[in-house]
Structure 1
Amino acid sequence: MRLRPIDLVDVFVYLVVLGAFIQLFPQVISETFLLALLTAILLKVVLEGVLWLKKRVVARIRDSSTALTRAVNIVALVLILPGSKFVVLLLVDVVFGEEVRLGGFFAVTALVIVLTLARAGVRRLLAPPARSPANDQSSRR
């Protein structure tokens, strides 16, 4: 896998959001800036993995030929969404120990929601403007 510029932007967005959570919520702790940066990188890796897995399950739901297969995939999706928060908590605890705390399940859920929204907002802000046929016509005149 190749590192893209947007991946670095995502890490910086995650770092800013994580820094805000550290300032605003006493249960979210990072002992140093470097640990916050490494936590942002870990969050990027985990959330990319969760998004990849979620997309695969959603594709399997769409492609399901039987109601049972569809139901099993829907249950898998329902388990992935909250389960990913526990994975984040566990990995942060294993990798950083007592030096980084993301609070509990609800704090991590809020953090992941804000990270996802911030990422989408920044990506939308940085995306090149969409070209429409009307814009192409007016630029030729």
Structure 2
Amino acid sequence: MTNKEKIFEVVKNHNLMNISTVDANGMPKSRGVDYAMGEDESVLYFITHKMTAKVQEIKDNHNVYVVIDHDCTSMEELNELRYIKAAGKAYVGDTPEKIQKAFGHIIEKFPYLKDLPGEQSDFVGVRVELEKVYLTDNTVQFGHTEEVTYR
């Protein structure tokens, strides 16, 4: 299996990513968001309320860092773990077309999110384009990490 195929599997089989931004004071901020894969494993979408701090932080600075990982309950699981860390760019989609595109990906993966409180116009779609992905694959060796560049 190639590294891009492994990254695809991580992105496809997880539901939560931590995304880090930088606020106006230069302080890093990280939070978890439900995400869905876009055109390929290097393009991710999430939706968020348009009044959140992360929206303004992304508009001010497109650089983001994401981690897609999960916890393990045994050494056996830990030895089989694959996860990614990645640097990339995020873009806020606030037109109806861009919001609908993000909602489409998210609702397909998480059908229950169609019942989010509020109107769809209260939300924006965020497109994350991964650039440098660091794939950790414990099946090779514990902590084995390789870099994959997309852009």
Fold match (TM-score > 0.5):
no
> Could you tell me the TM-score, scaled by structure 2's length?
0.28
| Structure with the higher helix share, 1 or 2 | 1
Q: Which has the larger radius of gyration?
A: 1
| Structure with the higher strand share, 1 or 2 | 2
